[in-house]
Amino acid sequence: MEINITSRETIKPSQPTSAECKTLKLSLIDGFQLNTYFPLILYYSKTTSLQGFSDVSTQLKKSLSEALTIFYPLAGRRRDYVSIDCNDEGAIFMEASVNTTMELFLKPPNLELLNQLLPCEPDKCHPHEEVLPQLLVQVNKFQCGGIAIGLCNLHILLDAYSYSAFLKTWFAICRGSKGEISWPDFSSAASAFPQRDITGIRGCTFNLIEENCSTRRFLFDHKAINELKSMSTSDETKPTRYQAVSSFVCKHMIVAIKEQCCDKTRPNVACHTVDMRRRMGQPFSKGVVGNLLWPALVVLEGVNKNTEIIDLVEILKEGFGKLTKDLFLKLQNDPGFLWSDEYAELMLEGIATKRPISLVFTSWANMGFNEVDFGCGKPCWLSYRGGTKETTSNTAILLETREGFEAWIRMSEKNMNILEDDVDFLRFALLNPSVLI
């Protein structure tokens, strides 16, 4: 397969940003994020003939320009560590042609080629002082008329929830449904959690390791999810779909890692990204743009192939239970919280001497990515990234699709090979099945 870039241009907002909005202050939590792009690819089957592709692309560019007027920081550039210069420099918009049909490309998806559908290298950690576009788009046309829209969003401003709101706005404008626009609130996050000098805050034992990682896609269909939930349920424990699936994935990732680890007594620390909006409530439940995320860190010791999933679910639920509205109000109102014993305990400061192995779990379920329609229907599939690059290892992204959950797992090649041969894991996880469009 060949993917050829046919055009590249800069899309600026349809109207200039007003003088009073020229500088956007980032929140304290935005400042904790890596200067990296997180990727998303949306697939639309048989959207148009090849002759009509220019009309679709023109409409996408026109509506993007209007959406950037509403989400104006996405057309800006980072000024310094604490702010974005909303200077209307614009977003990067690229077009590409793919010399095959979408049906062939997805039977099964060639994960090694996915990154070619993206406008830049995803997940690469850039220095914070490097000035980068906030948003890049690549619209890929297949020979059958299908379109894959590859998106890379800089993480310093938008989390997945905020990004979904932007996409819903852009695509609502594109299909002429301006009544469905999601109006953003850019001020509440920075007002509630203003930037401050964090020199000397209590240390976190959570260490992200970058190495050459392979990405694999595993599908947990609805039957598998229900069975995992049943295995994790008791009178006291009622897991969500995410808790059941992520605990199962976590167990088998740890088993694969431990098989290659010289010191099998090292504990594991699992980091689950939690959306603060749902726990804080108003005014953060809707419309607030920013990285309103917080890590739930849990210690997992003695995990092996005989560990029961329900035990991991209970540990995870206990970790989630510590992230209360009262905790976030302390972060908001107590200037000394980041230096407190309570914060150090949440960050598992005391386990540092045991040299824990870290894992990261993130869910993009219930974000609405599989609902975004720019005028030709909902996407038939959505995907993360592929390829083997130096990036953060031992991570799992859970995406929601029509068939259930997909776990996109990144690990070193040697550990991934063990996971792929894990018979107990493959009883529930289908390795990269074909996508029906």
Residues involved in catalysis: 155, 373
∠ CA 401-406-409, nearest 5°, is: 150
| 8-state DSSP, 41 | E
**Cα(88)–Cα(74) distance, rounded to whole angstroms?**
8
156 and 30 Cβ atoms separated by less than 8 Å? yes
**Cα(377)–Cα(334) distance, rounded to whole angstroms?**
47
14 and 67 Cβ atoms separated by less than 8 Å? no
Q: Which residues are CB-contacts of 69 (< 8 A; sequence separation ≥ 6)?
A: 13, 14, 15, 17
Q: Which two tokens stand for residue 33?
A: 């994020």
**Residue listed under structure tokens 């029961």:** 308
**Cα(284)–Cα(193) distance, rounded to whole angstroms?**
12
Sign of CA dihedral 226, 228, 230, 232: negative
Sign of CA dihedral 425, 428, 434, 437: negative
391 and 123 Cβ atoms separated by less than 8 Å? yes
The total number of residues written for the chain in this structure: 437
The Cβ of residue 31 has, within 10 Å, a number of other Cβ atoms equal to: 16
What totals of helices (H) and strands (E) does the chain contain, helices first? 12, 17
**Cα(43)–Cα(23) distance, rounded to whole angstroms?**
35
Helix or strand holding residue 228 (H, E): helix 222-231
∠ CA 18-21-23, nearest 5°, is: 130
313 and 232 Cβ atoms separated by less than 8 Å? yes
SS3 state at 96: strand
Q: Residue 401: which region, alpha, beta or left (left: phi > 0; alpha: psi -120 to 50)?
A: beta
The Cβ of residue 434 has, within 10 Å, a number of other Cβ atoms equal to: 11
CA distances from 218 to 122, 383, 400, 418 (A): 20, 12, 12, 14
Q: Which two tokens stand for residue 305?
A: 């192939």
